[in-house]
Amino acid sequence: MKVLISDKMDARCVEILQENPGVEVDVQTGLDEAGLIDIIGEYDALIVRSGTQVTPPVLEAAHRLKVVGRAGAGVDNIDTAAATRGGIIVMNTPGGNSVSTAEHSFAMIMSLARNIPQGTASLKDGRWERSQLTGVELRGKTVGILGLGKVGSEVALRANAFGMKVMAYDPVVSSEVAETFGAQLSEPEEIYAAADFITVHLPLIEQTRHMISDAQMASCKQGVFLINCARGGIIDEAALLRNLESGQVAGAALDVFEEEPPTGSQLLAHNRVICTPHLGASTVEAQESVALQVAGQVGDVLMGRVIRNAINAPSVEPEIYAKMRPYLELAERLGKLQAQLSEGRLERVTVEYHGDVTYPTSVMTSAVLQGIMSSVTGQPVNAVNAPVFAQERGVHVDELRSSEHEDYAALITVVYQTDKERRLLAGTLFGKSDPRLVRLDEYTFDAVPQGHMLFYVNIDIPGIIGRIGTAMGDHEINIAQMSCGRHEVGGSALTVLNIDGPIPQTVLDDVRSRDYISWAKSASL
């Protein structure tokens, strides 16, 4: 079996792979798409970093390829969908660079506090500006950590060592888990109001883009310091510049940018901004760690051992997987919907199987968690690693099974418990492959879980459907399908709309503002 390494990698990667009997390793870096296509048909495994683009044409030419290993967390350079269609496992190495990124983040905090880059530049320029560069101590200050995953938790540990008070926000981390890192779990608004330093460790997803903008900075303590070593775009750079100019923000440290490289950025020239060129994971140790990790994982696949950190491969025999795939898709959609329909911090997920569900339920439960975690973490999540994400965040997962059929031959029910509410969502299959939603809390209905959806609860009086339909039309939103449910005449009713495009926030706010609407949520699948 042959392995191709197409990006610069620590030498230990080759050594570990060659410890597996019958494995040959070639290192050829700097290949473009055409060059990779010419040779990829000879290989059983491909190991890359971010430089190699693993495109559909490359994968189509990879007749022997079993696995693509990414030395690092991000897989944006790998067409995972095309790999899946070709039966090729895609895996990454999460957590291998967490300490490096956390250390870089804390170095940024210290540099902001003590004006180290400005002092260096000043002295090298022949100036002695001690009075202008007076700093602040970290001891006794409050640091707000947005995102308490692998990197954020490491930052929390270091902040505690410096005598800082640590506040942290994470939508899927429990208070108990946060306390193990010396952090007080808080809402973002509480952090903005109290923190002297705010450091970002969240993924860049729709919900976090420009999460910190003018309104959030205005609610911060005057003279707050902002640090972003996560993903460019979480902090609104235009808003940051305005708040630096006004003095509301005392300083900022940026390792990532909305556009990379950040050519022409006014932030780079600002005297209270320090910056680095996306160096968070760029240490000798981090690069060695991810290389060793990916070598071990790829070797395990080639030798027929365990599959770890796979992005697209469930732990099920191929024959069984083909039969249960519709159930897995239903389970994942139930999880994705619950994550979007529910409010509060997730504490417990209970998945109940009723009737003729004969396939491995643990895999389907993992699919539910995959839907949930992919919606809230923004990381590459699959049915293999989703339970780990849940466990790390202190989410309790229960699985119940009953042979009773209730109203359907087979029914999957997902109960989503947060610190604010409990929500139940159930689905089934019509025929062998047609997924349907059939229950939300006390309401029964029949809706197709796909595309863009609007859920709302209203007073059960005549004319409501027409009014909402008119509102959608006024906003040029086309309704594709509608389903309704109620549990008593004259009480409340649920309506589920499938629509042809995403619902703008202004439209959702309009629906919620009507006195006959008690609850409304949008979701996308």
| Tokens matching residue 185 | 């779990």
Residue positions annotated with a catalytic role: 231, 260, 278
What is the pLDDT, as a whole number, of residue 95?
Answer: 79
Does this chain's domain 98-275 share its CATH topology with 314-441?
Answer: no
Instruction: Tell me the per-residue pLDDT of 119-145, one tens digit each, with 9 for 90 and over.
Output: 999 999 999 999 889 999 999 999 999
Tell me: pLDDT of 406 over 70: no
Residue 298 has pLDDT above 70, yes or no: yes
DSSP track, 207-238 = TTTT-BSHHHHHTSPTTEEEEE-S-TTSB-HH
pLDDT at 361: 86
Give the DSSP letter of residue 54: B
Quickly state the pLDDT bin for 148 (edges 50, 70, 90). very high
Q: Is 249 exposed, middle or buried (0-12, 13-18, 19+ CB in 10 A)?
A: buried
Helices (H), 116-225: 116-124, 150-161, 175-180, 188-194, 214-218
Please provide the distance, in angstroms rounded to a whole number, between the alpha carbons at the two ends of the chain.
39
Residues 16, 1: Cα–Cα separation, whole Å: 14
For residue 404, pLDDT over 80 is answered with: no
User: For 103-124, how does the pLDDT look when each residue is reduced to its tens digit (9 = 90+)?
Assistant: 999 999 999 999 999 999 999 9
pLDDT (mean) for 291-313: 87
The per-residue DSSP string of 312-323 comes to S--SS-HHHHHH
Average the pLDDT over each of 77-91, 323-337, 377-391 and give the range with the smallest value: 377-391
- Planar angle of CA 215, 217, 219, nearest 5 degrees: 75
Residue type, 238: A
Q: Which CATH class is domain 2-94+286-308?
A: alpha beta
CATH no., domain 450-525: 3.30.70.260
Phi, psi of 44 (to 5 degrees): -95, -20
Q: What would the mean pLDDT of 251-256 be, rounded to a whole number?
A: 96
Please name every residue paired with 310 in a beta bridge, in sequence order, or none if there are none: 91
Could you tell me how far CA 422 lies from the centroid of its own chain? 23
Beta pairing, strands 452-459 & 492-499: antiparallel
Greater model confidence, 404 or 342: 342
* Tens digit of each residue's pLDDT (9 = 90 or more) over 495-521: 999 999 898 988 999 999 999 999 999
Single-letter amino acid code for the residue at 33: E
Percentage of the chain beyond pLDDT 90 is 70
Statement: residue 29 has pLDDT above 90 = yes
331-340 confidence digits (pLDDT tens): 999 999 999 9
Specify the pLDDT at position 315. 54
- C-beta separation of 523 from 337 below 8 A: yes
Domain 314-441 annotated CATH 3.30.1330.90: yes
Residue range 55-102, pLDDT digits in tens = 999 999 999 999 999 998 778 789 988 887 787 889 988 778 889 999
Task: Give the residue extent of every domain in the chain.
Answer: 2-94+286-308, 98-275, 314-441, 450-525
Over 60: is that where the pLDDT of 434 sits? Answer: yes
How far apart are the C-alpha atoms of 228 and 235, rounded to whole Å? Answer: 8
Fold classification of 98-275 (topology level): Rossmann fold (3.40.50)
Statement: residue 45 has pLDDT above 80:
yes
pTM given for the model = 0.72
Instruction: Give the angle subtended at the CA of 344 by the CAs of 425 and 377, to the nearest 5°.
Output: 85
pLDDT of residue 164: 98
